[in-house]
């Protein structure tokens, strides 16, 4: 498999409709931005269309845990950069870290860990990633030095960089 980036990123403009009356991105909308960015990254950087994958296999990923920390406010019309990385994986699940920065990536705004389970939608049960998915995931796996979300937050709050 060719070399694939382990830290894909995209830039977005924060939409007016996603903000509160004070012009801040609504806390509930952060997760939408993170999920949309990860879906964009999978397609743009790895050629994996979640929609096509589901149509062809009747399998998909189901969010089972989301952990989210907010560090700095995000304002209406602000340009933000969102990056994602696969930090853990096994044959049935994966954990992705998604980080939101200002456009220059100098100010961390928020970070989220999303744990997803691969599911056969016909049976409703967990499924195993096939060989091609395991190969893709292995090639982009980008582990971090912290084991828990709390450890990761402490590391980032102290200005830690990978």
pLDDT band at 3 (very low <50, low <70, confident <90, very high): confident
**Which residue range(s) make up the domain with 129?**
9-144
* 153 domain-assigned: no
Residue 160, domain member (yes or no):
no
The pLDDT confidence band at residue 2, using thresholds 50, 70 and 90, is low
DSSP states of the chain:
-----SS-EEEEEPPGGGB-TTSBBPHHHHHHHHHHHHHHHHHHHH---HHHHHHHHSEEEEEEEEEEEE-S--BTT-EEEEEEEEEEE-SSEEEEEEEEEETTS-SEEEEEEEEEEEEETTTTEE----HHHHHHHHHHB---S-SSHHHHHHHHHTT---
Domains in the chain, number: 1
In a domain, 76, yes or no: yes
Say yes or no to pLDDT of 118 above 80: yes
d(C-alpha 144, C-alpha 85), whole Å = 10
CA angle 142, 145, 102 (to 5 degrees): 70
pLDDT digits 0-9 by tens, 25-78: 999 999 999 999 999 999 999 999 999 999 999 999 999 999 999 999 999 999
Q: Distance (Å, rounded) from C-alpha 4 to C-alpha 2?
A: 6
Q: Residue 69 domain-assigned? A: yes
On the question of pLDDT at 161 being above 90, the answer is: no
Q: Considering the domain boundaries, does residue 156 fall inside one?
A: no
Integer Cα distance of 109 and 84 in angstroms: 14
2 or 39: which carries more pLDDT confidence?
39
- Determine, yes or no, domain membership for 80: yes
97: left (phi over 0), alpha (psi -120 to 50) or beta: beta
User: Per-residue pLDDT tens for 97-108?
Assistant: 999 999 999 999
Tell me, yes or no, whether 119 lies in a domain: yes
Up-side HSE of residue 57: CA atoms within 13 Å toward CB?
19
* The model's pTM: 0.94
- CATH no. for residue 75? 3.10.129.10
Residue 103 forms part of a structural domain: yes
| Beta strand 108-120 pairing with 125-126 | antiparallel
């Amino acid at each position: 498999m060719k070399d694939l980036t382990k830290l894909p990123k995209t830039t977005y403009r924060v939409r007016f409709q996603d903000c509160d009356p004070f012009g801040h991105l609504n806390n509930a909308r952060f997760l939408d931005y993170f999920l949309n960015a990860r879906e964009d990254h999978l397609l743009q950087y790895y050629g994996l269309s979640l929609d096509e994958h589901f149509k062809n296999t009747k399998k998909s990923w189901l969010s089972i845990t989301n952990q989210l920390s907010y560090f700095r406010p995000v304002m209406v019309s602000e340009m933000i950069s969102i990056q994602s990385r696969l930090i853990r994986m096994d044959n049935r699940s994966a954990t992705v870290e998604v980080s939101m920065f200002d456009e220059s990536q100098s100010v961390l705004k928020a970070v989220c860990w999303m744990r997803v389970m691969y599911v056969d939608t016909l049976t409703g049960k967990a499924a195993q990633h096939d060989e091609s998915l395991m190969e893709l995931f292995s090639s982009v796996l980008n582990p971090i030095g912290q084991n828990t979300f709390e450890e990761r937050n402490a590391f980032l709050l102290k200005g830690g960089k990978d």
